[in-house]
Structure 1
Amino acid sequence: MNSQESKKSRIYLDYAATTPVDSEVLKAMIPYFSDKFGNASSVHSYGQEAIVALDKARQIIADFFACDWREIIFTGSATESNNLAIRGLIKETSVHIITTTIEHESVHESLRQLEKSGHKVTRVKCDKEGLVSVSSIEKAVKDNTILISVIYANNEIGVIQPVKEIGKLLEKINKRRRENGLNKIYFHTDAVQALNYLEARPDWLKVDMFTFSGHKIYGPKGISGLYVRKNTPLNPLILGGGQEFGLRSGTENVASSVGLAKALELVTKHRKKDSVRITKLRDKLLDAIIKTNINIKLNGSLKYRLPNNLNLRFAGYDNETLLVAFDQVGLAVSAGSACSARAAKASYVLSSLGLSDKEAKESIRITLGRYTTDAEINSAINIIKQSLKQLS
């Protein structure tokens, strides 16, 4: 079998880690690597051509989110966006921040850094289904709370959090705080995993800041964004020429910004039908795996879950052993977050659900996507069954 045939026979079910670039996205980007290569900060015609493309991309993204184009900030990654939202908001005075125990690593690490500077952080726990309650967020609010950061849909277990409900609650809380002379509490959500399947307009979610990323929506790597509501007092983390309205200096990535905009246009086109089709394929896969004689448990809520996500515990099987066995016969899945896949520690997200370290290390994440076919799911079912049989 040659390398091309081998590649065609492989099955990719790790769409939560990254997605392939859509052909329409690639087509939109190519001119900005060749003929239209200008620096958007240059004043000559090449630069003007680049800034026009950048502004158009920003407007397309703003239209997708139903916001003002000046509220869209381009960044280099979702990690950078999360850092800007959190560390850019918090000033020197000691304040209080509320988050959850199941956030992305970039949120956790940003907050740990702030704790070292004397700021206080409350980490609200989820229940055994992976859900954070609105009431637990409300109970955590203090007079000096300045920020709440809650992930829209978790990157490991795909559980969807009640972000809209928290946003509505926070509107009421902030109204009372204004009347009592207290500062506003700002609300940030990491929506990186949610965009392909869920409504994501900031005004609908009632958020002040909103992280999104290109490579999770069939766009390029190295480009992400942060929606920042007007009058949100952010300070830049990267200083220099003052690009991105002074919030993110550095030469603009025009080609990837164009690609991100095109990817979001395609999300609008595909979201509804993808959600229905992928849910059916995911449920077919889940039903088939459960029908094996292996002790298998779904981690996290099935009802409040992204349609493409399965996180399964295979009792008695080490997940690294499973990953290698599956990969050797052409099935690509993961043990959890791609950002911490090389770490030997058990998943803190699964620990938050109440799993022991052993149980967490028996769990794998399977995520479907736009290009997943029924034939691939049938093959994946056979691979999983045969691999489990051989490992028994």
Structure 2
Amino acid sequence: MLPSPSQPLTRRSSPVALDFQATTPCAPEVLEAMEPWWQQHWGNPSSRQHRLGLTAAAAVSDARERLAACLKVDPIQVVFTSGATEANNLALLGHARAMAEQTGHRGHLISVSSEHHAVLDPLQQLRREGFRLTLLEPGRDGLLKPAQLEEALQPDTLLVSVMAANNEIGVLQPLKELAAICQAHGVRLHSDAAQAFGHLPFHPTSLGVELASLSGHKLYGPKGIGALVMREGLPLQPLVFGGGQEQSLRPGTLPVPLIVGLARAAELALSDQEDRRIRLESLRNRLWQELQDQVGDVQLNGALEPRLPHNLNITVEGVNGNRLQQALRSRLLCSSGSACSAGTPSHVLQAIGRSQEQANASLRLSLGRPTQRDDIDAAIELISEVVGQMRQNA
């Protein structure tokens, strides 16, 4: 039995970490794989005139093949970037501008109001450039219905962007059904898969996704590396210029250690993916059930299914959100929204019908590989005590 809110909370030597959707610690195996490429094999992969450069180029080629195998795509479809934000920008700006140049017409774009700002902001830039933009509203469960997309399509719709798994509420969008609609109308589908890849099976070709963005640090890989997975032959303009690297789509010296680390992280993620899913889903469900029992008057944000197994997002009723965050900050590592939101009320939660006050009083609790049963019990105990005290003093 967990202690009641009136009982004193047992102090831990370190905070409970439940913010693994913001980022993840680099796996030891990934650090080991990267280590030789910082000093021992320090060559530039574009320097093909000597062994150091050739060795580095071979490492990049090998990593590309291994990452492609994890995604079940051809290696030529993988373009390395600094992360999912850059990949999103390259996909959206690059394809829309390339199509406008080909056709002489700035067409229509569709996305969802609950997307990450790394998608919404480049789309707004395209709108400023003369493209028309439709942002669809998700249901209160956070999900987009395929019929909404069907109704929103226009004769000159050229690109749709829908994330695979929401970064705040964890819901999984029906990509396969959305892709089928896009394919039937000759429209490209892009998906920000930063939160999905490595945690759930994600194979762009079988899903019908023609542009997909990935991030290394969301799956126990290094920060500063990601990839855009694109259908071969898809028109795409670069965002920057200055070299022929990455099919001239992303010029600049390739970060060999980070690329090696991304490939190793992806392989590790797939090796324990199913066991991790089962374990974290069980812990997440315990967390949700006990918070309902112990805290009471909490609302789940987004559908419980389909959802990332390691995500729980709740609104705590009857408390001041700022005070709640302050009371928890030193003892529970979690979030009230995206790690990129800079403390503003979550646009995702407001998109599914939460007020600003409710959004501020919400917690995104995300589990990770290191999470154990005692972490979950400590989080339940802590949230229960803090909320109980706040409600008593209200």
TM range (shorter): over 0.9
Aligned to 1:325: 327
Matched, 1:41 2:46: yes
Per the TM alignment, residue 223 of structure 1 is displaced from its structure 2 partner at its CA by 0.2
The answer to whether the 8 A contact 1:319-1:364 is kept is no
Aligned to 1:260: 262
Among 164, 170, 173, the alignment partner of 1:161 is 173
Distance in 1 (alpha carbons) for counterparts of 2:65 and 2:265: 14
Per the TM alignment, residue 355 of structure 1 is displaced from its structure 2 partner at its CA by 1.1
Per the TM alignment, residue 321 of structure 1 is displaced from its structure 2 partner at its CA by 2.2
Per-residue displacement from partner, 1:222-252 (whole Å, max 9, x unpaired)?
Answer: 0010101111100100111121111001110
Matched, 1:16 2:15: no
2:229 is paired with a residue of what secondary structure? Answer: strand
Per-residue displacement from partner, 1:250-274 (whole Å, max 9, x unpaired)?
Answer: 1101000000000010111111001
- Which stretch of the first structure deviates more once superposed, 292-301 or 278-287? 292-301
In structure 1, the gaps of 5 or more residues are 1-5, 175-184
1:54-93 equivalences in 2 (<5 Å): 54-91=60-97, 92=100, 93=105
Matched, 1:28 2:26: no
Matched, 1:133 2:133: no
The answer to whether the 8 A contact 2:216-2:223 is kept is yes
Distance in 2 (alpha carbons) for counterparts of 1:113 and 1:317: 37
1:36 counterpart letter in structure 2:
H
Aligned to 1:316: 318
TM-score by length of 1: 0.93
Aligned to 1:338: 339
Matched, 1:355 2:332: no
1:333 counterpart letter in structure 2:
C
1:311 is paired with a residue of what secondary structure? Answer: strand
Aligned to 1:181: none
Distance in 2 (alpha carbons) for counterparts of 1:247 and 1:7: 49
The answer to whether the 8 A contact 1:95-1:119 is kept is yes
Among 225, 228, 241, the alignment partner of 1:226 is 228
Per-residue displacement from partner, 1:110-153 (whole Å, max 9, x unpaired)?
Answer: 01111111110111111111010011111111111110110111
2:180 counterpart letter in structure 1:
K
2:45 is paired with a residue of what secondary structure? Answer: coil
Aligned to 2:3: none
Among 288, 291, 296, the alignment partner of 1:289 is 291
Q: Quote the sequence identity (%).
A: 39
- Which stretch of the first structure deviates more once superposed, 36-45 or 156-165? 36-45
Per the TM alignment, residue 195 of structure 1 is displaced from its structure 2 partner at its CA by 1.5
2:278 is paired with a residue of what secondary structure? Answer: helix
2:170 counterpart letter in structure 1:
G
Distance in 1 (alpha carbons) for counterparts of 2:270 and 2:201: 10
1:49 counterpart letter in structure 2:
T
TM-score by length of 2: 0.92
The answer to whether the 8 A contact 1:95-1:120 is kept is yes
2:41 counterpart letter in structure 1:
K
Per the TM alignment, residue 331 of structure 1 is displaced from its structure 2 partner at its CA by 1.4
Per the TM alignment, residue 315 of structure 1 is displaced from its structure 2 partner at its CA by 1.0
1:336 counterpart letter in structure 2:
G
Distance in 2 (alpha carbons) for counterparts of 1:81 and 1:7: 40
- Which stretch of the first structure deviates more once superposed, 6-15 or 143-152? 6-15
The answer to whether the 8 A contact 1:323-1:332 is kept is no
The answer to whether the 8 A contact 2:337-2:363 is kept is yes
The answer to whether the 8 A contact 2:87-2:226 is kept is yes
Distance in 2 (alpha carbons) for counterparts of 1:199 and 1:269: 11
1:237 is paired with a residue of what secondary structure? Answer: coil
1:150 counterpart letter in structure 2:
V
Aligned to 1:177: none
In structure 2, the gaps of 5 or more residues are 1-10
Aligned to 2:8: none
Per the TM alignment, residue 196 of structure 1 is displaced from its structure 2 partner at its CA by 2.9
1:338 is paired with a residue of what secondary structure? Answer: coil
Per the TM alignment, residue 358 of structure 1 is displaced from its structure 2 partner at its CA by 1.3
The answer to whether the 8 A contact 1:320-1:335 is kept is no
Per the TM alignment, residue 383 of structure 1 is displaced from its structure 2 partner at its CA by 1.3
Distance in 1 (alpha carbons) for counterparts of 2:205 and 2:317: 43
Per the TM alignment, residue 8 of structure 1 is displaced from its structure 2 partner at its CA by 6.1
Per the TM alignment, residue 82 of structure 1 is displaced from its structure 2 partner at its CA by 0.3
Aligned to 1:237: 239
Aligned to 1:118: 130
Distance in 1 (alpha carbons) for counterparts of 2:200 and 2:181: 20
Aligned to 2:195: 193
Distance in 2 (alpha carbons) for counterparts of 1:57 and 1:8: 39
1:164 counterpart letter in structure 2:
K
- Which stretch of the first structure deviates more once superposed, 256-265 or 42-51? 42-51
- Which stretch of the first structure deviates more once superposed, 311-320 or 206-215? 311-320
Distance in 2 (alpha carbons) for counterparts of 1:355 and 1:148: 26
The answer to whether the 8 A contact 2:106-2:131 is kept is yes
1:212-223 equivalences in 2 (<5 Å): 212-223=214-225
1:291 is paired with a residue of what secondary structure? Answer: helix
The answer to whether the 8 A contact 1:282-1:310 is kept is yes
The answer to whether the 8 A contact 2:321-2:357 is kept is no
Per the TM alignment, residue 319 of structure 1 is displaced from its structure 2 partner at its CA by 3.0
